[in-house]
């Protein structure tokens, strides 16, 4: 980590916990944290007991492994408060191995620049402080809430002697007099003692200092979450206790939803903004921390401005016009446009704008969702260059090689080397075409699906395969119809998959291709399975496509299976590599299993 001349102001009294292996990394991190204003750093070795309270935890992989349960308990105990945990790792592989249930909110890959580390710690501590402030405000609200009598009960010696008309509605009673009797009959099981203690406090102090939560029962036996307050009164000339009961079931549920919504917005990694549509030029009235991190603009320089301040010299005017037209027409819009951060660096922003309407249908606000898609756009540009090279440069040069080889074949018609050159040229040309199709699949933006009957598609593909490979055994087991919603690229990908599975030349000495294609309609799904009995699909390809990733040592030998995988996923389907029983089409032992490519699509109607 690099040195800083002066530490930044941090959240007041922030207490940080380091659950890390003893060593230089922990010592450096603890020393750096100790130098920061208002940061208290406490170190704990993996496996040691954890303190009961802290504001942020930095944990290394060993500490996470040894303390996973204890850290998860701290998160559960803190709920609904936000308690951040950051994993300190030496490489990115650790993040990919994390379980969704692990108590980790972010991963810090070491070494890391102190400026970046400081900013990320501050962001999480600010989110922690926002959570604490929210909880404090909710508590203050409960103490200061105005005593408004919605339901009135008069109790004397533990017996209800009066109930107003609102009480009939609250407790779903037939009439007021039906509520008369022991007041504990209105309390839910387990809360009768609480109600009695509240009555004792009121009789002793003359009143309660605020509303108290109590679960009560309606006349139909349903539980009602209430808030109860009370004072001593004189009723019909004798001392009694007046209880004010409010049904807060719906309000509690609404507050929980709003609290969850607020925390989700504050801690979201996606930029979120709200603009006021009722003011001139739709100024921003809210921006979350992720928007600040993405753009570099602090909240003070964001609020009160139209979000167009992110535009710059290379921002596409047609895209801006599309946004303006959508706003003028009060409809949602999704675009990708080039924006600029505060320091002037450009980034591609996937912007989604959604109108928020009031009960009359009028647009009062605009919700903006921003995501930095710069890396994806750069990948698309690189793929476009690759596509151009493969489609033009390689193809043109292969045509030259093939034509020269054909001239040589006329002069040396018995030379197998010439045939090898021609075959290699044809293979490279085919690969360039496959890569082009692959690039079209992974960069496709038109994601519309159309209903298509897969039965004739596969019948045609199987017939073509049998014509090209007469020694191959290919079975097709399918119903009369299997209509699914698919992308336009799927039929071609299915044909290439079958051709790849029957390509015997890849495995010298292998048996003749022996394949079964099974199609089934299962509820709302259409399932397509390819069973390879002869093993003409290499294990390396099956393993790579099953994992969904490749490594330098474990990779497929071609692109055909990747093409079908991407075509299935683009069709909103699922793709898996499994071991399956062979089925009734072969006379085999029951325990025998074969490799199976399984694709599942959403069923559709023509």
Q: Which of 312, 307, 309 is CA-nearest to residue 276?
A: 307
pLDDT value of residue 261: 63
Task: Tell me if 401 sits within 8 A of 407, measured CB to CB.
Answer: no
Task: Tell me if 583 sits within 8 A of 605, measured CB to CB.
Answer: no
pLDDT value of residue 323: 93
CA 355 – CA 277 distance, rounded (Å): 9
CA 508 – CA 499 distance, rounded (Å): 17
In degrees and rounded to multiples of 5, residue 562 shows phi and psi of -65, -35
Distance of CA 520 to the CA centre of its chain: 31
pLDDT value of residue 388: 63
Ranges under pLDDT 70 in the chain: 1-12, 36-38, 137-149, 253, 255-268, 383-397, 410-416, 427-447, 504-510, 546-559, 581-593, 605-606
CA 189 – CA 118 distance, rounded (Å): 51
Task: Tell me if 33 sits within 8 A of 41, measured CB to CB.
Answer: yes
Q: What is the pTM of this model?
A: 0.38
pLDDT value of residue 346: 93
CA 71 – CA 245 distance, rounded (Å): 40
What stretches of 268-371 show up as alpha helix (H) in DSSP? 289-295, 317-328
pLDDT value of residue 142: 36
pLDDT value of residue 539: 73
What stretches of 35-175 show up as alpha helix (H) in DSSP? 61-78, 93-96, 114-144, 165-170
pLDDT value of residue 322: 94
pLDDT in tens, 284-314: 988 888 899 999 999 889 999 999 999 999 9
Range 228-233 contact pairs with CB under 8 angstroms and sequence separation of 24 or more? 228/195, 228/198, 229/147, 230/198, 230/199, 230/202, 231/202, 231/206, 231/207, 232/202, 232/203, 232/206, 232/207, 233/154
CA 32 – CA 3 distance, rounded (Å): 9
pLDDT in tens, 431-478: 666 666 555 555 555 557 889 999 999 999 999 888 888 888 899 999
């Amino acid at each position: 980590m690099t040195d800083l001349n002066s530490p930044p102001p941090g959240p007041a009294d922030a207490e940080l916990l380091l659950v890390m292996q003893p060593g230089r990394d922990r010592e450096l991190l603890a020393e750096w944290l100790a130098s920061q204003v208002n940061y208290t750093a406490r170190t704990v070795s993996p496996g040691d007991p954890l303190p009961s309270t802290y504001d942020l935890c930095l944990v290394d992989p060993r500490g996470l492994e040894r303390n996973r349960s204890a850290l998860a308990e701290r998160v559960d105990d803190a709920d609904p408060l936000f308690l951040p945990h950051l994993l300190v790792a030496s490489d990115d592989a650790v993040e990919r191995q994390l379980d969704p249930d692990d108590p980790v909110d972010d991963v810090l890959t070491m070494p890391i620049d102190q400026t970046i580390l400081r900013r990320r710690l501050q962001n999480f501590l600010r989110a922690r402080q926002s959570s604490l402030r929210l909880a404090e405000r909710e508590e203050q609200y409960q103490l200061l809430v105005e005593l408004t009598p919605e339901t009135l009960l008069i109790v004397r010696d533990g017996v209800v002697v009066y109930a107003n008309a609102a009480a009939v509605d609250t407790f779903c009673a037939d009439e007021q007099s039906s509520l008369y009797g022991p007041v504990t009959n209105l309390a839910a099981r387990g809360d009768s003692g609480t109600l009695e203690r509240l009555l004792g406090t009121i009789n002793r102090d003359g009143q309660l200092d605020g509303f108290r939560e109590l679960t009560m029962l309606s006349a139909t036996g349903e539980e009602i979450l209430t808030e109860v307050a009370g004072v001593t009164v004189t009723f019909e000339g004798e001392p009694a206790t007046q209880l004010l009961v409010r049904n807060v079931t719906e309000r509690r549920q609404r507050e929980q939803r709003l609290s969850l919504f607020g925390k989700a917005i504050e801690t979201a990694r996606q930029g979120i903004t709200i603009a006021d549509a009722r003011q001139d030029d739709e100024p921003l009235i809210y921006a979350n921390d992720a928007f600040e991190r993405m753009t570099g603009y602090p909240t003070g320089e964001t609020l009160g401005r139209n979000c167009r301040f992110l535009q710059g010299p290379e921002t596409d005017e047609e895209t801006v016009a599309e946004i303006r037209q959508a706003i003028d027409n009060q409809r949602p819009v999704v675009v990708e446009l080039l924006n600029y951060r505060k320091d002037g660096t450009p980034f591609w922003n996937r912007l989604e704008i959604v109108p928020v309407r009031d009960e009359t249908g009028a647009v009062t606000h605009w919700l903006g969702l921003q995501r930095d898609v710069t890396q994806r756009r750069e990948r698309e540009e690189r793929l476009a260059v690759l596509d151009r090279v493969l489609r033009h440069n390689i193809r043109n040069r292969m045509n030259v090689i093939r034509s020269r080889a054909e001239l040589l074949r006329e002069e040396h018609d018995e030379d197998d080397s010439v045939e090898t050159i021609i075959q290699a040229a044809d293979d490279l040309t085919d690969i360039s075409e496959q890569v082009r199709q692959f690039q079209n699949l992974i960069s496709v933006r038109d994601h519309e699906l159309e209903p298509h009957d897969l039965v004739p598609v596969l019948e045609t593909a199987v017939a073509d395969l049998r014509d090209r490979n007469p020694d191959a055994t290919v079975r097709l087991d399918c119903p009369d119809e299997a209509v699914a919603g698919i992308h336009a690229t799927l039929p071609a990908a299915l044909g290439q998959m079958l051709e790849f599975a029957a390509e015997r030349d890849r495995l010298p000495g292998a048996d003749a291709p022996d394949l079964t294609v099974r199609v089934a309609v299962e509820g709302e799904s259409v399932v397509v399975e390819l069973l390879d009995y002869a093993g003409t699909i290499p294990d390396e390809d099956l393993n790579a496509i099953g994992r969904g990733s490749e490594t330098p040592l474990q990779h497929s030998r071609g692109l055909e299976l990747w093409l079908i995988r991407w075509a299935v996923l683009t069709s909103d389907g699922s793709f898996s590599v499994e071991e399956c029983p062979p089925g009734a089409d072969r006379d085999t032992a029951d325990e025998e299993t074969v490799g199976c490519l399984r694709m599942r699509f959403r069923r559709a109607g023509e």
